[in-house]
């Protein structure tokens, strides 16, 4: 049914407009009590498999990556699809419109997306109001169904790289009190110069500023770690040596985890005419073509940090088998996004149930 709706309704429609339409529809359904419960019953059936990560009680290991809910307006509605955590953002200190449209493209032959959104969002102050409202709505849910709320922050486009530290600190001041965990995003390809901040010399002062600011504004963190957990999201296009250097920095600076990985600028992951199309377009690629490199970076990171850091894997997760592979490679949590566009609202629940049923089967047969 979803495949038919996708082909007839969404395919002829601009991808960004289709996103807004479907997201708005989900939020409307969630706002009607009976319909909201029906959506949760149908989509999130058997999706509660609690796990503690980062000192927080996640309902399950599968979450929605940043980018879907940029302003934190639909956290509860998205949790009705089964997600154990929702990462909102990327949010910048100042509101910004993002890049010119069109800026989101479906690459259907490759089951991928190409985006150059440019951190379009309403700014940290407005997002703080939105997330506060969503937290009130989440509080009405039974404890076991309440999703963890991550907040992903990035640099405002018009802010010079030399002022990046204060820009990230400003976002932290507004958003840390509402975040279960924070993510420093220095890996999007769609803000000029942002990826340069992944260098150790640039990243270290940002980490320090975010940590210190969060400690100032959050007296009682939700995490049992005793502080707001802080993670850094890295790009798949980093050289292996650079990935390892960031791992060393993260452990030295007291970061709690890494998210691997953001979108790629490597067009060779695509095939056919879509590779030629993407070559002439700016932006990052997400979806199935990213799977191989994302898994490589996960293994590289896990081999370096061991159990010292939490690792969240995202990029190219298409089904429960892929999620199992990420967990087997050491991921504590797994995030999805692009595949949901192609597979529909039942996709998260299928992945959660498939992941957990296989883990139960493995334990039942005496496997590792």
Q: Looking at the annotation, which residues are catalytic?
A: 188
Contact of 312 with 336, CB cutoff 8 Å: no
- Supply the angle between the helices 291-305 and 320-328 in degrees, to the nearest 10: 20
The CA-based angle 66-168-260, given to 5 degrees, is 40
Task: For CA atoms 170, 174, 180, 185, give the dihedral sign.
Answer: negative
- Residue 244 has a CB neighbour count (10 Å cut-off) of 16
The three-state secondary structure class of 247 is helix
What residues contact 280, with CB distance under 8 A and at least 6 apart? none
The burial of 242, by beta-carbon neighbours within 10 Å (0-12 exposed, 13-18 middle, 19 or more buried), is given as middle
Q: Is the peptide bond before 102 cis (omega within 30 degrees of 0)?
A: yes
Contact of 104 with 113, CB cutoff 8 Å: yes
Contact of 148 with 56, CB cutoff 8 Å: yes
Tokens of 73: 């307006």
Closest listed residue to residue 174, CA positions, set 72, 310, 259? 72
Rounded to 10 degrees, what is the CA torsion of 183, 128, 85, 55?
Answer: 60
Q: How far apart are CA 330 and CA 326, in angstroms?
A: 6
What residues contact 240, with CB distance under 8 A and at least 6 apart? 300
């Amino acid at each position: 049914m979803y495949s038919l709706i996708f082909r007839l309704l969404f395919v002829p429609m601009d991808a960004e407009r289709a996103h807004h339409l479907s997201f708005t529809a989900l939020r409307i359904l969630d706002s009607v009590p009976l319909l909201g419960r029906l959506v949760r019953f149908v989509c999130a059936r058997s999706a509660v498999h609690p796990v503690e990560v980062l000192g927080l009680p996640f309902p399950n290991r599968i979450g929605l990556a940043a980018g879907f809910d940029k302003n934190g307006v639909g956290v509860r509605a998205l949790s009705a699809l089964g997600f154990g955590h929702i990462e909102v953002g990327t949010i910048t200190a100042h509101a910004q419109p993002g890049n010119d449209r069109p800026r989101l493209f479906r690459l259907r032959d490759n089951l991928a997306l190409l985006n150059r959104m440019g951190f379009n969002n309403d700014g940290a102050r407005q997002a703080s109001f939105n997330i506060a409202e969503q937290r009130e709505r989440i509080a009405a849910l039974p404890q076991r169904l309440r999703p963890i709320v991550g907040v992903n922050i990035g640099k405002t486009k018009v802010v010079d790289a030399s002022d990046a530290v204060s820009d990230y600190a400003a976002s932290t001041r507004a958003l840390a009190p509402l975040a279960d965990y924070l993510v420093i995003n220095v890996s999007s390809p769609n803000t000029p110069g942002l990826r340069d901040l992944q260098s150790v010399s640039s990243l270290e002062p940002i980490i320090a500023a975010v940590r210190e600011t969060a400690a100032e504004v959050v007296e009682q963190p939700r995490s049992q770690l005793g502080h707001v957990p802080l993670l850094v999201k890295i790009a798949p296009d980093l050289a292996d040596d650079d990935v390892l250097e960031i791992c060393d920095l993260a452990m030295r600076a007291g970061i709690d985890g890494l998210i691997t990985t953001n979108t790629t600028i490597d067009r060779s992951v695509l095939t056919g005419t879509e590779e030629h199309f993407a070559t002439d377009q700016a932006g990052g690629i997400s979806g199935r073509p990213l799977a191989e490199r994302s898994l490589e970076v996960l293994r590289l990171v896990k081999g370096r940090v061991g159990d010292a850091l939490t690792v969240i894997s995202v990029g190219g997760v298409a089904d429960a088998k892929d999620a199992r592979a990420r967990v087997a490679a050491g991921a504590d949590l797994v995030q999805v996004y692009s595949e949901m566009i192609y597979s529909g609202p039942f996709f998260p629940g299928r992945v959660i149930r498939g992941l957990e049923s296989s883990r139960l089967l493995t334990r039942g047969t005496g496997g590792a």
